[in-house]
A and B are shown apart, each in its own frame.
Chain A
Amino acid sequence: MTGKSDPAAAAIDNARAFMDAMLQSDWLELHIATDDFELFIAREGGGPNPMFAGAELDEVPAPAAAAKASAITAPHVATLVWAAQPGTNVAAGEALARISVLDEETDITAARSGRVVAVDAAPGELVEFGMTILQIVEAA
């Protein structure tokens, strides 16, 4: 069990939790800054985004289209039923893996078409939230 949390997914979960907190409050604005994470949310009447203060909004160059593997992680604790084998090509929407919670199974599907390059968990294994199940390289 060596899976590590995907930082992007963690950031999205954090952002969602802060948004929930914002919606339940009467705050006008919320600004959170940590070492690797900064978030600003405002309602009508909230202040300007401090992240833009004094910044020049340059054109951001598109990231180099290198074939970088991305991790498909467990969305919550579950038992892995099966995962696509390395080398499998999948189309967007196709199942990459199947997980089960109390014997109820759900599929994890590919957001984009690509090729499975590695599988990090074995069928029957308890995968925890954030653990990498497999890695995929997007189709060019």
Chain B
Amino acid sequence: MAIKRLFVANRGEIALRVVKAAQALNIETVVAVSDADRESAAAKMADRAVVLGPASAAKSYLDPRLVVHAARESGCDGLHPGYGFLSERAILPRLCEDHGIAFVGPRPDVIEALGDKLQARAMASAAGVPLVPGSENIASGADARREGDRIGYPVLLKAAAGGGGRGMVIANNGDEAEAGFQRASAEAEAAFGDGTMFMERFVPEARHVEVQLMGDGQGKVLHFGERDCSVQRRYQKLIEEAPCAAMSDELRAKLHKSAIDLAASVNYRNAGTAEFLFDVQRQEFYFIEVNARIQVEHPVSEMISSFDLVQEQIRIAGGAGLSVGQDDVVLSGHAIECRINAEDAARDFAPSPGRITRWDAPTGEGIRLDSHMAEGAMIPPFYDSMVGKLIAHGKDRAEAIDRLVGAIDDFVIEGVPTTLGLQRAIATHPDFVANTIHTRWLEQVVLPQFGKDAA
């Protein structure tokens, strides 16, 4: 049954994005807000806003009972969780089910199973999806050498009882594996009372790739291509692009198939992303995890596929099934997104909430901006500091970069410091242009130099 009134259980740009998608489908919208977001762009655009609680997220956006109560009592028959907040908490779809509200996302048991790393790995393995090559428990130096030889160096020795990096050793050959085992095992024995070790292949320069999926909940799953999100700071993505230009077509086809096999094996419903580590040198990929929600970086997949993934999500939740088949998903060109945060690069990227005093957004061919901000808008200090996502699409990667840099140069934001300067430094860096980057490139190569060149 198609959704008639949708409750938007999120804030910021994604709340606005969902409201717009619903309105395009002629669906009424009710936006949940905290006391600090009464005047938000999504609240103004929606048919109604309901104030859940005070500014504190724990007492507003993160309280599933308040969210579902507000949805039910405002007459909503569907609920979109956005990303973050409650989007991957099984309690939310469970409460929705109990109260007759269609949840725009996967079934609660699927969210739970995929949220558990070990279960997710087991499911991936059962579906034939490659995992990082590794060992069972290792009890001796000789075992360590034998396993290292089998897996291929370099390898990472980890304490079975460990955590927080203690008892971890990188070994580049058999001798190092043997010596490393003795040292790390003794350290683990001392720290955890258990010297048992295991081993995984270590990929020093990996890329992060992920496949955009959409399932109908009956076993049919489509992919909308992959994204490359290797520009990261402290595991947070800063720039995302589609497709992954560093991957061969042959490997890409395998990647898509793996992601679909995994999602189809659990009759995955709605939007999801299968994340992988991509070992460029070996041209192999290994499963990391599944994100059971729409992701921040979904626009790059929309730009290369011309599909509106959020509208598709809402249709599926309303029982319409997938609107197209895999052959209808035609990918073209290249898209790059950069996340613009109100952060102060000079103070180690500390979030810098405040009021936007000037906001002059770029426009142009292939340029898209997903943002809830405008001149005079306030960035409250209680939540994340993202002010928007700037996306550029071109016929190829070079044109997409050109357009992105042009748009960054045209973008004027005053009142708060932003990461636009850093994004420009990344997008114009020779390594980024040559596409030779990896997940630690930003921290190892760019950041140590950033802000010092101009001085």
Contacts and interface: CB of A to CB of B under 8 A. Distances in A.
Interface of A: 5, 9-10, 13-14, 16-18, 20-21, 75-79, 101-102, 104, 126, 128-131
Lowest 5 CB-CB distances: which A-B pairs, in order?
A13-B54, A128-B51, A76-B53, A126-B73, A129-B51
A101 B99 CA distance: 12
A118 to B, nearest CB: 21
Interface in B46-105: 50-56, 59-60, 63, 65-66, 68-70, 72-74, 95, 99
B382 interface: yes
A7 to B, nearest CB: 11
A79 B72 CA distance: 11
A20 B51 contact: no
B381 A76 contact: no
Nearest to A12: B54
Interface residues of B, number: 25
B35 interface: yes
Contact of A101 (B34, B65, B382): B65
Given A76-B53, A77-B53, A126-B74, A13 B35 contact: yes
Nearest to A20: B56
A78 B51 contact: no
15 contacts: A5-B35, A10-B35, A13-B55, A20-B56, A75-B53, A76-B59, A76-B63, A77-B52, A79-B69, A101-B69, A102-B95, A126-B50, A126-B70, A129-B60, A130-B51
Contacts of A130: 35, 51
A71 to B, nearest CB: 15
Contacts of A20: 56
A103 B84 CA distance: 27
Interface in B17-56: 34-35, 38, 50-56
Contacts, number: 69
Contacts of B95: 102
B103 to A, nearest CB: 15
B381 A13 contact: no
A128 B68 CA distance: 13
B69 A13 contact: no
Contacts of A17: 54-56, 381-382
A34 to B, nearest CB: 10
Given A14-B55, A17-B56, A77-B52, A102 B381 contact: no
A75 B95 CA distance: 21
B66 A76 contact: yes
A104 B70 CA distance: 14
Contacts of A5: 35, 38, 51
B142 to A, nearest CB: 46
B35 A76 contact: no
Nearest to A79: B73
B66 A77 contact: yes
Given A76-B52, A77-B50, A102-B95, 19 more contacts: A10-B35, A10-B54, A13-B54, A14-B55, A16-B54, A16-B56, A17-B382, A18-B381, A21-B381, A76-B53, A77-B51, A77-B70, A78-B66, A78-B69, A101-B65, A101-B69, A102-B65, A126-B73, A128-B50
A123 to B, nearest CB: 13
Contacts of B99: 102
A18 B54 CA distance: 13
Contacts of B70: 77, 126
Contacts of A131: 51
Contacts of B74: 126
Nearest to A100: B69
A78 B68 CA distance: 11
A78 B50 CA distance: 11
A5 B36 CA distance: 11
Nearest to B68: A102
A103 to B, nearest CB: 9
A131 B49 CA distance: 14
A128 B54 CA distance: 10
A131 B35 CA distance: 11
A77 B35 contact: no
A25 to B, nearest CB: 9
A13 B56 contact: yes
A99 to B, nearest CB: 10
A19 to B, nearest CB: 10
Contacts of B52: 76-77, 128-129
